[in-house]
Each structure stands twice: as structure tokens, then as C-alpha cells.
Structure 1
């Protein structure tokens, strides 16, 4: 599936229940296994490049009272960080494992509004089966585009813009298996992204493509990061 070809314009019972949902993705199998573990004392650090560095772990209390370690930290309220002179501003590392507590906490809640639903739809069709950090990155590209002044100003407008997302046909979305684990995860990712509970990419990243293709426009942009099966760019 081509994507953005153009620079224009979980307890054990709970885990088993998740896996019982139709169309469970490889990511579902992994996170369900994690949910069956009473306590996660630590998670592997990541060696991120360009836009992310390993972050200090913080404790997160889940609704089930299971403790976990989240390998990401909130963005400073002031929006400012102290860094050596000449250093490139970075954000805390976000990993698939580190995002699991947030995904678990946001899989249920109020129904998504139309705009958030469009973000979740893009995540579902573009990145289901991807690690959670890769799904979050796709959601953020949609949001970044809407805020950039270069694309439609609404999330739905961005997703439905002609020739941008290959799953969109005539401005219409294909049928979603709303009973699937993938859709539950996509909705959670949309909630996380919209509330800015975690960040995977800088605000100026507006383009990406699958790693098995090499579109010509990629040579005119600056590669930022490869997350999951997608490569992300800024101008």
C-alpha cells in the first residue's frame, strides 16, 4: 500500500478477551502477553536517533492498579528545555512498550468525535499491526498537517484530501471492523495524540512513506526518523 506519495497539497482474562476480538494484529498478541504480567519492573531503553533520547522512567498507575514503567515523560509545561549550546532540541523517547500503559488506559472512554475518528481511521488503515509508536507517529502527521497552514485545517480534511491516503476512495472510507482489537488500539492512539499525552514526532514532520518504496519526493525532504515500517520527513 502506498502512503503519502506526494509532498503536496489487558489480568490474563482481560488479555485473552482482547485477543479474542476479531482481526487481532501482531501488536495485539504482544501487548496482550504484556498485560498478563502482574508487574513490569522495567522496560528496555531505546536508542533513538535525531528526535528522541532515552528518558527517565516514571511510575504510572493503571485502572487495574497494576504498576508499570512508562519510558516517556510529559512535555514540560513551559515548552522549554535546557540543552547544551548548539544542541538540537529533542523530545523524550516513545516506544511500543512504553506506550502500552497509555493505550490500555485509553482503549475505553467517550466516543470519538468526528475529527478524532478521522485520525483513528487513518491509524487503522495506515498502521494497524505496527508498533504503537509507529501508530502514534501516523496520527501526529495528520495533526501536524492540519496545523501547518499547508494542508486542510481539519483532521478529516487532511485525511480525505485527494491523492494523499491510498485507502480513501472518492472521499469515502472503507468499512472498519469495529469489533477488532486493531480498531480499539487506533481509537486509543487517537485519544493519546489529540490530548498530547505522548509525542512521537516534532510538529514540523508532515510526510511519510512505507519503507519498501522510495518516492522521488523523499530526496527533496529531510529524513527525520524511521518508526516501524514508515520513514518520516520534514521540509
Structure 2
């Protein structure tokens, strides 16, 4: 019976710890000298514009000592998954291309035609095809590097800005050319981004 109770408590603890990591909470931040909405966005992994909106701020001016509400953010588990996808999809690409790959996933999360979570978008299967080939071939299981992690944080900070790309592909290696029928938004490195 003692083993059963210990096992139950350990399992419950792990589930609670995992739950806290999966669903990020909003927070309060007291402004210190040098803080900007951009820096706070980087620090908390929240779009700078979302912090402004959450605090009814129309300008970029904030005062030392001011208390700001920091809206809920992407969980650390989702950031890790997204960074691993960025590494797998954009390894060897310019930094801007890594940010753009992460932005495509975030744009899909925000778009009504796609799942409404990072994990849902990354692991989506439609008509028997994986949305991202690294999920199928296992490359997504490699640990993310520091540049991919930084790219994810930048994409989150600038979330909602940009050209609204929902797709990307490499025209040289693509086997399905459906993406080429979409409206091109930008080319970065070997990738074409489209919506």
C-alpha cells in the first residue's frame, strides 16, 4: 500500500509539473530602467504588440515602476518543439529564414484553417500527408541549437507582423508543387514563403 501511495504521489507531481509547463500563465512585470516592449517581449516570449494591447498602451513609452500585465505566452514545451522544427526545416538557412519558418507555424496557429496550438500545427496530418516532413522522418527529434531557439523567440516577439506567410517550400527539393500555386510573400535563402 505504501508503494502505491508513493507511486500515486510521484505520478501526480509529474502531471502537475507538466501541466504548468504546457499551459503558460499571464504574469505581472514591474518596469525597470531600460525596459521596452520589445525587451519584455523577448524576456517573456510574448509579442511586444500583445503586451501593449493587454495594458491599453497606444505608444511605446513605459514608466519605471509601472506594473504591466504580461499576457499568456507560448509554453516552454511548445517553444522547444518549434525550435526543433526550425532546426530540422531550416538548418543551413540564413537566420531570417529560421525566424520565418517559426513565423509560419505561429501564423497557422492564429489562422482558422489550421489547428490552434503549436503542437497541433506541427503534428498535423491532412489527406495522409504530414504538414512538416521532419515529423515523418524523425529529424524533429534532434535537440534544437541556440540559433533555432533564438529564432523562435524572435518570431514570438514579432508575432502578427510581417506578410502573413502560411507556407514555405524549397523549389529545388519539393516533390509536391502545390505551394507554388500560392501567393509568394518572400524568398529567404533556399525557401519560398507564401500565403
Partner of 1:176: 142
Instruction: Indicate the SS of the match to 1:120.
Output: helix
Q: Which has the higher contact order (CA 8 A, sep 6+)?
A: 1
TM-score by length of 2: 0.54
Count of aligned residue pairs for this structure pair: 125
SS at match of 2:141: coil
* Residues 1-47 of structure 1: CA deviation (Å, up to 9, x unaligned): xxxxxxxxxxxxxxxxxxxxxxxxxxxxxxxxxxxxxxxxxxxxxxx
Cα 1:198–1:227 change in 2 (3 A) is: farther
Trace 1:17-166 onto structure 2 (pairs within 5 A): 113-162=76-125, 163-166=130-133
Corresponding residue number in structure 2 for 1:196:
158
Q: CA RMSD in A?
A: 3.3
CA contact (8 A) 1:192 1:198 kept: no
Secondary structure of the 1:211 match is coil
Q: Deviations over 1:59-79 (max 9, x none)?
A: xxxxxxxxxxxxxxx88x79x
Select the structure that is richer in helix: 2
Give the secondary-structure state (helix, strand or coil) at the position aligned to 2:103.
helix
Alignment correspondent of 2:184: 223
Separation (CA, whole Å) in 1 of partners of 2:159 and 2:132: 25
**Large movers: runs of 4+ above 6 Å:** none
Does the aligned pair in 2 maintain the 1:116–1:194 contact within 8 Å? Answer: no
Alignment check: 8 A CA contact 1:123 1:139 kept: yes
Tell me by how many angstroms 1:132 deviates.
0.6
In 2, distance between residues paired with 1:158 and 1:218?
17
Larger Rg computed on CA atoms: 2
